Amino acid sequence: MSELAIQTVDLIRRYGKYTAVNKLNLTIAPGSIFGFLGPNGAGKTTTLRMLAGLLEPSSGQVFLHSQLIQKTSTAAAIVGYMPDFFGVYDDLRVWEYLDFYARCHGIEPAKRKSTVDGLLDLVDLSEKRNAFVQHLSRGMQQRLCLAHALVHDPKILLLDEPASGLDPQARVELRELLRTLRDMGKTIILSSHILNELEDICTNFGIMARGQLLAQGSLETLRQRSRPALQIKVLDDLERAMRLIGAQAGVLRVLEPAEETPNLIEVEFDGNEQQASQLLLNLARAELPIADFHREDDSLERLFLQLVNDHVTEEQR
């Protein structure tokens, strides 16, 4: 088995009695773009900070390229970290900003200028080289912050909500930039709430909720965990419809309609197309007023919501 870029072993972080991250076992292969998904308070930022060596785990271990992280400096050499909320030194020029971080990473004077120029080129800020950081747009500052994380050519990039607060154009630019970095062989972990954006770019995903990793793997692997479903909109006689649906072949479970969509019945269904067709036929024969009948798609968003909801339901039991 090839060396993993990131591995965590039973990683736990507690804040007093609150457990922010609970027995996290992550495995991320080199060169992958790992999308870290989870609702607010899921423990994504805490995990990223532990991976960056900025936060001491309560227990468990973090390995970056097989190296056990016990000091911030060990992680700093391997990782480039971009926090979710970041500030910039307003009174510095763009090149000075990157030059400062290059100095902090001990880049030799001879290499410093070419490193700064290369990064400005990479993040498309060469024209703004001598501008003050405070005069950059939000998107440009985001790209500059990403450049700061790359200044020491790290193998791993940890990006916490890199697309937050960006307009659609800046998001497209960021996505392109991440693709370029992937092509450069970097392992990238990024957390985000914008699921469809991650779907396009990430090779692997991890879904977290309440400090626990609910699932991880490629989209295909995760889809296998997803239960196929049908959505049926019945305009009247909902109870008779639900009884009838529950008696059909291939139906696993009939869920109660949500308050905001009172006529929409969600059905967990693992039958084939013939069985789905038979179900529709039987509903029509029973003269139920069917307005919509369709299979739910396998989007990341649905998968995410399904896993998180299941987890919450299980915890409530």
Partner 1 sequence: MSNRAASRRWSLQPNPIVVKELRSRMRGGRAFILLTGFLLGLGLVGYGLFLRATSGQNNGAPIFSAQVGQTLFAGLAFMLLFLVILIAPAVTVGAISSERERLTYEMLIATNLPSHRLLWGKLISALSYIALLLLAAIPLGSIVFLFGGITLRHVIQAAVIIGLSAITSAMLGIWASAMTGKTGRAAVVSYVIIGLVLGGFLSGAEIWTKRTTEPVPTGLLAPNPISALASSLGTLSGPSSGGGITTMRAFEAVPMAAGGGPGWWPGSNPFSNTGLNFPGWQTFSIGIYPATDQFGPDGMPIIAEPRSVWRITIIILIMACLAFFWMALHAVKPRRRWWPTWGDAAMLSVTSLSLLGLGFWIGWWFR
Cα distance between residue 293 and residue 193, in whole Å: 29
67-76, long-range: CB < 8 A, 24+ apart? 75/51, 76/52, 76/105
Kindly report the number of other CB atoms within 10 A of residue 194's CB atom: 14
Stretch that binds partner 1, among 12-20, 54-62, 113-121, 276-284 (CB under 8 A): 54-62
The nearest distance, CB 84 to partner 1, in angstroms, is 10
Choosing from 14, 65, 105, 223, the residue that interacts with partner 1 (CB under 8 A) is 105
Contact flags string 255-294 toward partner 1, x per CB under 8 A: ----------------------------------------
The nearest distance, CB 106 to partner 1, in angstroms, is 3
Q: Does 113 bind partner 1 (CB under 8 A)?
A: no
Cα distance between residue 310 and residue 305, in whole Å: 8
- Cα 16 off chain centre by: 27
Q: Give the chain's count of helices (H) and strands (E).
A: 11, 15
Contact status, residue 254 vs residue 246, Cβ threshold 8 Å: yes
Choosing from 104, 281, 284, 286, the residue that interacts with partner 1 (CB under 8 A) is 104
Q: Does 108 bind partner 1 (CB under 8 A)?
A: yes
The encoded tokens of residue 35 equal: 């999308």
Stretch that binds partner 1, among 70-78, 190-198, 228-236, 301-309 (CB under 8 A): 70-78
Residues in CB range of 166: below 8 A, 6 or more apart: 138, 139, 142, 174
Stretch that binds partner 1, among 16-24, 77-85, 196-204, 305-313 (CB under 8 A): 77-85
Stretch that binds partner 1, among 14-22, 25-33, 53-61, 287-295 (CB under 8 A): 53-61
Residue 7: which of 69, 77, 49 has the closest Cα?
Answer: 69
Give the nearer residue to partner 1 in terms of CB position, either 48 or 245: 48
Cα distance between residue 153 and residue 156, in whole Å: 9
Q: Judged by CB under 8 A, how many residues of this single chain contact partner 1?
A: 37
How many residues are there in the chain?
Answer: 317
Contact flags string 146-175 toward partner 1, x per CB under 8 A: --x---x-----------------------
Q: Does 66 bind partner 1 (CB under 8 A)?
A: no
Binding site for partner 1 (CB under 8 A): 49, 52-56, 71-77, 79, 81-83, 85-89, 91-92, 96, 100-101, 103-109, 145, 148, 152
